[in-house]
Amino acid sequence: MASGVLRMMGNVSVSTLTRPKDILRETKKTIYSKPPRNKIGATQSFFVISVFAVAMLTPAAWILHHLPEYRQRSHQTPRH
């Protein structure tokens, strides 16, 4: 069973699965503790958060707005 899982994972070797300390060291190498090069202002942050919120809430608002139409369609008999 384990050999089948390892074959499905492709080029991940057994040594990387059994050595969590090495994986943790590799992960720590990619974490940077320096301050950012470019500071992002409050206006940019607000704009990005607003765009993200609109992108996430628009489909839900569309569905809720058209819910009465969807309910009417479900009560109609199907056309052939």
6 belongs to a structural domain: no
- Residue 24 main-chain phi, psi, to 5 deg: -65, -40
4 belongs to a structural domain: no
**What is the pTM for the complete model shown?**
0.46
pLDDT of the residue at 68: 92
More confident residue, 72 or 11: 72
How many structural domains does the chain have?
1
23 belongs to a structural domain: no
28 belongs to a structural domain: no
21 belongs to a structural domain: no
pLDDT in tens, 29-57: 667 778 878 888 999 999 999 999 999 99
pLDDT of the residue at 36: 79
77 belongs to a structural domain: yes
Residues spanned by the domain of 60: 40-80
Q: What is the mean pLDDT of the chain?
A: 79
| Dist. CA 78–CA 58, nearest whole Å | 29
